């Protein structure tokens, strides 16, 4: 990809590098020959410069500053959805994980930093009042995680203006791909199907999401860094796929003889898919991986991990 040539002399810092998306960033940055380093709270022993560090803790901020100093570009992925069953605890945890961590990161940046890309989320839109969703659509978070993500976006906007640092706020849609077993729709359905079990679909399966393959997310983010983008940009495919269509596609690609089951006592969730005109125009990036190809790759990964 030609635009990534702009990063040939860069030093990329990836926060949350031990996570599913962060791990894929590390693999692709290696493939592209781009120098990088990573931060996470997990104990890992990678081949690249790595700092085990809790960004919400200021106890050793000088160590963070020293590690960050060589970075010319920052990709801020570090985030986590806290348990919200206890509201008081949930507010505190989500604020610390999503807002305070970002504040501490920004305060540790050096003058070498030329750009920051922040991984935000489609959940800041809440239940959309229009489809497809545009960057100008109303933001109306309906959970604490989304509220603190939106709060972080606002803080980044102020920081960007005061410090003349270009910051891209990238609102990722539903990211999927190899790398982690979770209770999200795609991994859960795949695991059920290859077990020969019928996936249970909540409601009628009419809920629509915009599913984007993990590699497209990585490359779109890297392009935003290379171009020093400084705005809010939806990162998705612009294509809505219902939960029923998704499950049927997984069954077809898996070549398993199972049928869908529907929990009709559960309500369908709200639908959301993006208008990606801004991504196409400002980043000049169009997702490359089709849903069929992406799902086939993820299904193969699930099968291989069982061998």
What residue ranges do the domains of the chain occupy?
2-178+211-238
Give the CATH H-level superfamily of domain 2-178+211-238.
NAD(P)-binding Rossmann-like Domain (3.40.50.720)
Residue 228 is classified by DSSP as T
Question: Residue 59: what pLDDT?
Answer: 83
- Cis before residue 92, ω within 30 degrees of 0? no
The two three-digit tokens of residue 265, written as one number: 């006592």
CA atoms of 124 and 140, how far apart (whole Å): 6
* β-bridge pairing 11-15 and 232-235: unpaired
Q: pLDDT tens string for the chain (307 positions)?
A: 778 989 999 999 999 999 999 999 999 999 999 999 999 999 999 999 999 999 998 888 999 999 999 999 999 999 877 655 666 667 788 888 899 999 999 999 998 899 999 999 999 999 999 999 999 999 999 899 999 999 999 999 999 999 999 999 999 999 999 987 777 899 999 999 999 999 999 999 999 999 999 999 999 999 999 999 999 999 999 999 999 999 999 999 999 999 999 999 999 999 999 999 999 999 999 999 999 999 999 999 999 988 7
Question: Residue 100: what pLDDT?
Answer: 94
CB of 161 closer than 8 Å to CB of 106: no
The two three-digit tokens of residue 233, written as one number: 């940009």
Question: Residue 5: what pLDDT?
Answer: 85
- Neighbour tally for 47: CB within 10 Å: 7
Question: Residue 84: what pLDDT?
Answer: 59
CA atoms of 204 and 272, how far apart (whole Å): 16
């Amino acid at each position: 990809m030609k635009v990534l040539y702009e990063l040939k002399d860069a030093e990329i810092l990836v926060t949350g590098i031990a996570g599913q998306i962060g791990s894929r960033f590390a693999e692709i940055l290696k493939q592209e020959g781009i120098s990088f380093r990573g931060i996470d709270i997990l104990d890992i022993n990678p081949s690249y410069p790595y700092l085990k560090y809790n960004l919400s803790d200021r106890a050793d901020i000088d160590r963070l500053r020293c590690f960050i100093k060589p970075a010319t570009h920052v990709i801020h992925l570090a985030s986590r959805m806290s348990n919200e069953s206890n509201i008081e605890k949930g507010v505190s945890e989500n604020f610390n994980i999503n807002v305070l961590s970002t504040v501490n990161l920004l305060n540790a940046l050096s003058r070498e930093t030329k750009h920051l890309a922040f991984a935000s989320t489609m959940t800041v839109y809440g239940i959309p009042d229009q489809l497809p969703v545009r960057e100008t659509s109303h933001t109306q978070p309906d959970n604490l995680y989304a509220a603190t993500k939106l709060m972080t976006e606002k803080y980044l906007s102020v920081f960007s203006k005061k410090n003349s640092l270009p910051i891209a706020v990238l609102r990722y849609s539903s990211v999927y791909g190899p790398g982690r077993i979770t209770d999200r729709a795609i991994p859960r359905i795949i695991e059920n199907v290859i077990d020969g079990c019928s996936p249970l679909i909540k409601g009628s399966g009419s809920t629509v999401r915009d599913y984007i393959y993990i590699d497209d997310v990585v490359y779109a983010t890297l392009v935003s860094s290379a171009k020093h983008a400084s705005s809010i940009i939806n990162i998705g495919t612009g294509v809505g796929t219902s939960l029923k269509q998704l499950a049927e596609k997984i069954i077809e690609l898996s070549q398993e003889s199972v049928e869908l089951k529907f929990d009709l006592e559960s309500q369908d969730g709200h639908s959301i898919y993006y208008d990606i005109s801004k991504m196409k125009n400002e980043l000049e990036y169009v997702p490359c991986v089709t849903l069929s190809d992406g799902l086939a790759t993820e299904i193969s990964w699930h099968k291989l991990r069982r061998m």
